[in-house]
Structure 1
């Protein structure tokens, strides 16, 4: 947790870099805010800081209606940390507690439920149930404010077990009933409301659930270049011209299929605080999971200012950092897909053939050039080994039988070792999969003219350093690496 003096200075200066890193609760009002809240700065003696929104809610504070502290980017600490708490936070963000309960979370982590609860409470001020509840409430607010779903359907789509639990949570966190929360939104945003769908459920907008995915600092659009270069035919596409592109992809989610669309920030918007996104889901219970997977893909919980402050002190990287503020280290919406594509060498013809042969057709009809969900690992593991490269077959089998785990709560060191034990996987391939599939911000890959010892100065942001080097000079890449940028 950040120290009190630094926290209060951030609140006084309304420093948005700390949004999501901690939350400010004001005892005299009973409200908690993000540090950048534009309201009058509270007196220091009336302020308490909490590491999570769930901790503030558990202490009896309700969310500020002005700054909406539940909509901030996630803390970058959870992507950096590889310990039990970091792994648990990544799994909770992915919705594991809603799907499998605390017992399922503990089983994924390899600890007892009591130990997981004790560690989370000590570190972030709230246990897994409270953290999941805060996330459900934020999902419910999004659905109330962006769709016309009946309130009862919103409750279950957000993951609440009962309408009563849903009503109590919304009143406690937002000091309004669900209907009042929706009515206020309609009165303020009636002109901007999306039209209802022409077919199917009239409650969900035809364009999908519209979202603003918050991030810190500037956002460098090079992520869209990478995604365009490595788009999997039938699963991903980029439409539009540079500067005004939209990335679209299919998603394999726990309850059904989905399509995500994310707009590239224009030149004037790159210093903004969000990316526009639309999610079209077969089952709205997948909203939380889909949001977190898209956030990971676009590295929206990163702290570019912290990265720049660290890497900008290096003589080799300083000019690159100044030239491209806000560069990201993109993750993967589907870690299994990313790993398989790396093993295939990211060749479009090979990935297209794999998708056609083993992928599931998109329910209904194709959507633009999107036709399939990427093949499930079970389908690849059951395929005739003669039809797949040995490296892909071995990887799929390891993922299917649990020998290799690449889910959001995976132990990165253990996954790295399991990858190296597979046929056709070397240090570079294992590291690249770790960087993207597991969202590790501190991966070093063998790079010409840079020794591992020299790269230690870039910790804990070595993945970002590599991104700067790769973008600036292809000479830093070997031919094998150029196939997997």
Structure 2
């Protein structure tokens, strides 16, 4: 998109461009999102950037009114399978903070210089600058929504030192950390752990000093682009909740997180019609905060662009009523790709309820007990190492499936299969298909949810085929696959729409947490109509999997 079109987006205040382009105002030295409610700057006073990091690198400070650094992430990084897309997913997951640029580059098979050149050409900033922008945003959220001590805030945001934290916050926001906290209206009483102003979050426990910083509950807002059918996403996760690892309570969906430096517990709930999800976190170590937030976003697919999806799926007469019935439907991902892959094998040829039961038995036998169980949450899901060392005959599965599970766990432990945020999706799917017992449904389901590919159509899935038959489409899987080509690059959302329609038609098939009958309004009203700037060109279909039959 050239600068003239970018300026038109600014003049119209179109929120669909938020996160896609950032506008720097040379007369004030600040940068904004296109939908900023401030007076529109003159054309000659504007310069445009592809990322917040590039704007910060250009010497611009974040606007205090529209907070351009706080917009949901670009959905482009979920669609793209090239090295830039893979790098952005890894940076969001905290790879630079954990492994440095050298580790990030090595995981992608590039030298640091090559990766710097690729990211700078595309985004106007290298990996260090992109990670720095992410740390700055995390720091701002913590400063404004918690009463964590400054040192704990710095380490939780990923900074290596207090000085680096102070310098970055001052440079990016033109305020010291103390000034940011004082300016915030979201004040919290640290002693009683309660909100005393109109807060967006809080810290309900004291943080300790030292390199490992445990913390009480931190409550944050996870923004998304409306509309968002959170009810459907939470029902989907709740219906598949593994006992001991996940639970659904009146306050929301809760689960155990296995993070780089310890475990944590996340609770996710709607925010009463506002454009964000309420996320409550309890972490063993503060430095896992950024990674935990990103994984929760990935779990609920909060970086999706629902209007871009609707523009592709809505015109198809088969899907049009489904899209209208569930505006803003999300395609839930997962917080732990290895866990999802194991659960995909457990779910072969059995019902959702049966898969939950078997997974719960695996958790009791091989899971890691929590030091302090919380409600129904008692264990972290078994590590691949524990399952790889298991005797297949001791697993609560048929022999063939048990062997497949052990083989998968062994491949994950050895590194033969990479399912992380920066994995090459085609290579990972091909290696999955090489394992015994991994058929087309299993490989594609892992690709959709563990690898976060938005363009997977599960044409062999029993629920998808039944939904297509009810809608009057031939039930032949190959004909369905051919029709779905026009739904690219959002075929994963088509699969979820068909699953949701099947659950509405036969609620008992969706498990105990089934969606209500009939159309359901989204959390927010639809976004403005018109073409979306984020709709990418259709992507090629994933490589076909073997014909071994396996179903959901």
Asked whether 1:371 is paired with 2:378, we answer yes
Q: CA deviation at 1:67?
A: 1.2
Structure 2 counterpart SS, 1:138 = helix
- Partner residue, 1:333: 335
Q: How far apart are the structure 2 equivalents of 1:260 and 1:481?
A: 35
Q: Which of 452, 456, 463 lines up with 1:443 in the alignment? A: 456
Match of 1:263 in 2: 269
Q: How does 1:142-157 map to 2 (within 5 A)?
A: 142-157=141-156
Contact kept? 1:156, 1:162, Cα under 8 Å: yes
Picking from 227, 238, 259, the partner of 1:218 is 227
Distance in 1 of aligned mates of 2:447 and 2:394: 26
Aligned to 2:297: 295
* Alpha-carbon distance change, 122 to 59 in structure 1, aligned in 2, over 3 angstroms: same
Q: Distance in 1 between matches of 2:232 and 2:374?
A: 25
Which residue of the other structure, out of 370, 374, 381, is the alignment partner of 2:388? 381
Identify the range of structure 1 (179-188 vs 440-449) with the bigger mean alpha-carbon deviation: 179-188
1:187–1:205: structure 2 CA closer, same or farther, 3 Å change rule?
Answer: farther
Name the residue aligned to 1:470: 499
Cα distance in 2 between the residues matched to 1:482 and 1:260: 32
* 1:444 positional shift: 2.1
- What per-residue deviation string (whole Å, max 9, x for no partner) do you get for residues 213-269 of structure 1? 1111211121111111100110101112xxxx5010010000111111110355xx1
Match of 1:139 in 2: 138
C-alpha deviation, 1:188, in angstroms: 6.6
| Matches of 1:200 and 1:149, distance apart in 2 | 7
Structure 1 counterpart SS, 2:407: helix
What is the SS of the residue equivalent to 2:221? strand
Contact 1:207 1:278 in 2 (8 A): no
Question: How far 1:458 moved relative to its partner?
Answer: 0.5
Check whether the contact 1:311–1:321 (CA below 8 A) recurs between aligned residues. yes
Which residue of structure 2 lines up, in the alignment, with residue 280 of structure 1?
Answer: 282
* Distance in 2 of aligned mates of 1:196 and 1:420: 45
Mapped contact 1:147–1:205 kept (Cα < 8 A): no
Q: Which residue of 2 aligns with 1:349?
A: 357
Aligned to 1:55: 54
Q: Secondary structure at the match of 1:314?
A: coil
| Cα separation, 1, equivalents of 2:130 and 2:417 | 27
Cα 1:305–1:205 shift into 2, 3 Å: farther
Moved more, 275-284 or 376-385: 376-385
TM-score w.r.t. structure 1 length?
Answer: 0.92
User: Which residue pairs with 1:461 in the alignment?
Assistant: 490
In structure 2, how many angstroms separate the alpha carbons of the residues matched to 1:163 and 1:264? 34
TM-score by length of 2: 0.81
How far the C-alpha of 1:199 sits from its partner, in A, is 6.9
Specify the alignment match of 1:238 in structure 2. 248
Count of aligned pairs between the two proteins: 471
Query: 2:203 & 2:338 partners in 1: Cα distance?
Result: 35
Q: CA deviation at 1:158?
A: 1.5
Taking the aligned partners of 1:164 and 1:51, their CA distance within structure 2 comes to: 28
Call closer, same or farther: CA 1:155–1:195 in 2, change over 3 Å: closer
Distance 1:205 1:373, change over 3 A: closer
Distance 1:418 1:151, change over 3 A: same
Shift of 1:379: 1.5
- Does the 8 Å contact 2:152/2:207 carry over to 1? no
Structure 2: gaps (5+ residues): 189-195, 396-401, 466-474, 510-547
In the alignment, structure 1 segments of 5+ residues that lack a partner are: none
- Give yes or no for contact 1:70–1:138 (8 Å, CA) kept in 2: yes
What is the root-mean-square deviation in Å for CA atoms of aligned residues?
Answer: 2.3
1: distance between equivalents of 2:203 and 2:126?
Answer: 38
Alpha-carbon distance, 1:6 to partner: 3.1
**Alpha-carbon separation, structure 1, partners of 2:56 and 2:207:** 37
Residue 201 of structure 1: how far off its partner (Å):
4.9
Question: Cα deviation per residue 1:330-349 (whole Å; 9 max; x = unaligned)?
Answer: 10011111111111115122
Q: Would the aligned equivalents of 1:232 and 1:348 in 2 still touch at CA under 8 Å?
A: yes
Pairing of 1:85-124 with structure 2 (within 5 A): 85-124=84-123
Q: 1:319/1:6 Cα in 2 relative to 1: closer, same or farther (>3 Å)? A: farther
Within 1, Cα distance between the matches of 2:8 and 2:429?
A: 40
Aligned match of 2:237 in 205, 208, 227? Answer: 227
Mapped partners of 2:133, 2:219: distance in 1: 20
